Amino acid sequence: MSNSNISISDFKEFYLAQRKPRSIRRLHKELKLRFPNKKVISLATAFRHSIVEKWKEQTISLDSRISEKLMEKNVDKKVKEYSEITQQLEDTSSKAMQSVLDAFNKGIGKDITKPEQILSLVKSAVESQKLKNLLEGNVTSLSGHINYDPEDVQKLKNHINELYHSINADLMKRQQGKDFEELKIIKNKLN
């Protein structure tokens, strides 16, 4: 911007930077008030150049690019949030199932008289895994409902063991898929 004038290109820059809804008339008034010691192009000149240079079309393109950048930023933020949540759910599920299995390996199974004593921990593991799979868009084969006979602790132990192995199998499949994708990326970079 020159010291004495606000040129057509200066006016156009102010117009493109203007908040919606953009208005040439309003901008002209604002510039005259904001820069009283400078000569602002006439309103007719501004309108003429806006039509010839297609300022409206340029604002649409500019607004679209700004919207895309904001959308990408929001999507990246949400992806990061969901990744953190799914990792926490995966950790919770693994820790809960490992705690149950560790307890059985240490002989706590002899002291359990009712399956309800460990059922909440198992449900926590199962629900965490289901939520994690849901957030990742994966289908889960885990059952959220556990049928058990209060008199048969061994059946519950077997069911817990099956759930644990199912979770491990899902994790192994996912890791193998990631390894395969990484291998493809490396091969593509080498070629």
Q: How far is CA 168 from CA 81, 98, 171, 180, in A?
A: 24, 11, 5, 18
DSSP classification of residue 3: S
Are 86 and 49 found together in one domain?
A: no
Asked if residue 129 lies in contact with residue 142, where contact means CB atoms within 8 angstroms, the answer is yes
Q: By C-alpha distance, which of 56, 46, 51 is closest to 10?
A: 46
Cβ atoms < 10 Å from Cβ of 127 = 16
pLDDT at position 54: 92
Are 134 and 96 found together in one domain?
A: yes
Can you state the angle between helices 153-190 and 116-136, rounded to 10 degrees? Answer: 20
Region of poorest pLDDT, from 14-18, 145-149, 163-167: 145-149
Residue 70 lies in a domain: no
Confidence of residue 73 (pLDDT cuts 50, 70, 90): confident
Are 159 and 105 found together in one domain?
A: yes
Are 154 and 93 found together in one domain?
A: yes
pLDDT at position 39: 92
Are 88 and 47 found together in one domain?
A: no
Residue 166 lies in a domain: yes
Secondary element (H or E) of residue 104: helix 55-105
- Summarised one tens digit per residue, pLDDT across range 113-147 is 666 666 766 676 677 777 777 766 666 654 445 55
Residue 68 lies in a domain: no
0.75 surpassed by pTM: no
pLDDT at 87 > cutoff 50: yes
Instruction: Find the domain containing 137 and state its range.
Output: 76-190
Residue 31 lies in a domain: yes
Number of domains in the chain: 2
Residue 65 lies in a domain: no
Residue 59 lies in a domain: no
